[in-house]
Structure 1
Amino acid sequence: MRPRFSSQQYIDGVLSGDRLLLSRAITLIESRLATDQVLAQDVLAAVAPHTGRSVRVGITGVPGVGKSTFIESFGLHLIGEGHRLAVLAVDPTSQRSGGSLLGDKTRMEQLSMNPQAYIRPTPAGDSLGGVAHRTRETMLLCEAAGFDVILIETVGVGQSETLVHGMVDFFLLLMLAGAGDELQGMKRGIMELADALAITKADADNRQAANRAQAEYQNALHLFPPTGTGWFPPVLTCSALTGEGIGEVWTMIQSHQQKGEQQGFRAQRRQEQQITWFRTYLRQRLEHHFFAQPGMAEQLQQAEAAVKTGELLPVQAVERLLRK
């Protein structure tokens, strides 16, 4: 068993940029042990004044779009411009075995070996809400450790996208050209969340298809209601293989951040995210408190048995549990 560090050791290690202590601190906040959670909150409270100064970017896309390849090329470009980069990737968890791949370091080989980059996969587990909570705290630790750009990669198109959108400054949607009916292949709700779209693999024989897809998506986005910020989501093309268009993606993100600073919608977005985090965590704690009450397991079994036999409707069973 590893020796337990004091809260001050974690704090000093994170603030000095010690990667080992940063990893151990993240493991601490992911722990479900009550003693670890108390220690984790002490650490987070101490490093909080040193957070909030990074650019937080969420990246998602359809399966096969090349998210990891894009992130590696994009990350190396950022490091070349003098940035320190943290990549937080939510990995899918098997519902049968409970295991997860956690393969981001093998998919981003060059980036993972760069001393200016830090890659941390997070297993999704059985609760996306739990992942959102842990990812927010991990993001704060990385900011306190001196990483000024945080990339959050999602597992794919689904509920995780909405959660990630609620914790980043910029949400980038990667799309693939020439893969069939593009406009029908992406949920409208995900496109409405995006601050920009990037058509990947725009090289060699796929370049013309990427240009066509770019025009199609630009036309489609004009049908969506305005965001109210004055920012219209652009559609870019890029190639992680050749590096073409990668720099333009970062320039576009910087332009969005500058406009957000000037018009105030960046600060407003972060304030709304803090409230969302507060409410989400409150619901999680109330749920945990409810199920942890003495005798609740037996009462749940009785209620479920009554629902199975039709003795009680689900609504009646829930109301009876709440009254008890």
Structure 2
Amino acid sequence: MAMKQLESKSALSEKEGIPQPESFSQSALEKIVTNRKHQPSAEDLITGILKGDKVALSRAITVVESTNPAHTSKVNDIIHACLPHANNSIRIGITGVPGVGKSTFIEAFGTYLTSIGKKVAVLTVDPSSTISHGSILGDKTRMEELVKDENAFIRPAASGETLGGVARKTRETIILCEAAGFDTIIIETVGVGQSETAVHSMVDFFLLLKISGAGDELQGIKRGIMEMADSIVINKADGDNVAKAKLAKTEFNRALHLFPAKSSGWIPQVTTCSAYEKTGIDTIWKIISDYFELVKANHYFDQKRQDQNQFWMLETINEQLKSNFYNNPEIVKLLEENKLAVASNKKSPFLAALELLSSYFK
């Protein structure tokens, strides 16, 4: 008996714990749901955008980027209302390999533009992970000065599953930014190769950022990107790199002479700059201004915009057909069956694809 009492008084004995509270308060949850801010209507967003309200612009872009089919009608209403107020900006695409200093350059360039009275919208595309499908969206943190500028708007977007790394709704976002009064739209690509083609199809001027000593001056980097570029800028031309940057400029100028003349009549220019020291930025803007003076005078600017509109109509059709195909309930079932058949070599990939397409279009 004494032994049992001793055991019950032992510090090692288990004591009754304090009951844990609920993981959340039901009443608090109901209050949050009740007081949650009402989602603005399409009309509210349109009114805000046309007034230049950045909050309304951001919320409208979020709706545009949504993959929820329930938002389709709202998106169409917003785009349709904003379209008459769009197409009044210049669109500049900026690309370059990772590490070339795109974010630093865009901040220096954007800050310069706002200092001369421009309203700048920066649309950046961050690569999405193919494993987790997530994206850091850290461009705003790398543009500390520009993000605080009243005449600038920065919107990062995840590339998602879009081929080439261009956000699926970047084209529509441009329209909204133009309707909000931004006269200079800058689009930064992921810089992984194929994104350049997609961005080139939605901008007026294509700028390629390079650094000296990267080993590709004589290659002229990739021919396709070189042919698309309207200007090549050698960044990080500061400190010990000044001489190297000048040499790279000479080499790229020689490489450009090997390519056929552009249909715009423009001769691509090569220059150097230091985004870190903010030198050479005014020269780049002078090159861009000269380009627009030429292409607007010879009507290439308008023709290119028309061609781009037609291109994006066809791209939208392709995208919608693809989406409808993979979301068709019958196709979803048949697709899994055919995947197994193809994997086990019971059916060729080509025959499986033809059967799936035949089932979809029947």
- Please indicate, yes or no, whether the TM-score normalized by the shorter chain is above 0.5: yes
2:335 paired with 1:294? no
- Whether 1:57 aligns to 2:86 is no
Structure 1 partner of 2:47: 12
SS across alignment from 2:206:
strand
After superposing on structure 2, the runs of 4+ consecutive aligned residues of structure 1 that deviate more than 6 Å are: none
Q: How high is the sequence identity, in percent, across the aligned residues?
A: 49
Distance (Å, rounded) in 2 between the aligned partners of 1:157 and 1:98 = 17
Which of the numbers 127, 142, 146 marks the counterpart of 2:162? 127
Structure 1 counterpart of 2:258, one-letter code: L
Considering only CA atoms, is the larger Rg found in Structure 1 or Structure 2? 2
| CA shift in 2, pair 1:289/1:181, >3 Å | closer
| Shift, 1:186, TM fit | 2.2
- What is the aligned partner in structure 2 of residue 192 from structure 1? 227
Q: CA deviation at 1:21?
A: 0.7
1:43 aligns with 2:58: no
Secondary structure at the aligned position of 1:197 is classed as strand
Question: Which protein, 1 or 2, shows the higher relative CO under an 8 Å CA cutoff with sep ≥ 6?
Answer: 1
Q: Does 1:116 align with 2:151?
A: yes
Flag the 1:2–1:185 CA change in 2: closer, same or farther, 3 A. farther
Query: Does structure 1 residue 24 correspond to structure 2 residue 59?
Result: yes
**Aligned residue number for residue 106 of structure 2:** 71
Residue range with higher mean Cα deviation, 69-78 or 184-193: 184-193
Supply the distance in 2 between the matched residues of 1:31 and 1:181 (Cα, whole angstroms). 40
1:276 aligns with 2:307: no
Provide the rounded CA distance (Å) in 1 between the counterparts of 2:310 and 2:259.
Answer: 26
Residue pairs, 1:1-324, within 5 angstroms = 2-128=37-163, 131-184=166-219, 186-324=221-359
CA contact (8 A) 2:165 2:189 kept: no
Taking the aligned partners of 2:191 and 2:126, their CA distance within structure 1 comes to 10
1:306 to partner: Cα distance: 1.6
Distance verdict in 2 for CA 1:134–1:249, change over 3 Å: same
**117-126 or 177-186, larger mean C-alpha shift:** 177-186
What CA distance in whole angstroms lies between the structure 2 residues aligned with 1:187 and 1:129?
A: 15
Q: Read off the aligned partner of 1:287 and give its amino acid letter.
A: K
Q: Residue deviations 1:152-191, cap 9 Å, x none?
A: 0011131111100000000000010123343337211111
**TM-fit CA distance, 1:128:** 3.4
The CA deviation at 1:219 is 0.2
Question: Distance in 2 between the 1:323 and 1:240 partners?
Answer: 55
Question: Equivalent residue for 2:9?
Answer: none
Shift of residue 304, structure 1, vs aligned partner:
1.4
Aligned AA (1:295): E
Query: Distance between the aligned counterparts of 2:283 and 2:297, measured in 1?
Result: 21
On the 8 A contact 1:157/1:190 being kept in 2, the answer is no
Does structure 1 retain, via aligned residues, the 8 Å contact 2:166–2:190? no
Q: Partner amino acid for 1:296?
A: I
Asked if the contact 1:61/1:174 (under 8 Å) is kept, the reply is yes
Structure 2 residues without counterparts, runs of 5 or longer: 1-35
Shift of the alpha carbon at 1:51? 0.2
Deviates more, 1:104-113 or 1:301-310: 301-310
Structure 1: gaps spanning 5 or more residues = none
User: How far apart, in 2, do the equivalents of 1:124 and 1:181 lie?
Assistant: 27
Pair 1:224–1:172, CA change in 2 (3 A) = same
- Structure 1 residue 2 displacement after superposition: 4.5
Which sits farther off after the overlay, 216-225 or 311-320?
Answer: 311-320
Q: Is the 8 A contact 1:51 1:144 kept in 2?
A: yes
TM-score by length of 2: 0.87
| More moved, 85-94 vs 122-131 | 122-131
Instruction: Report SS of the residue matched to 2:123.
Output: strand
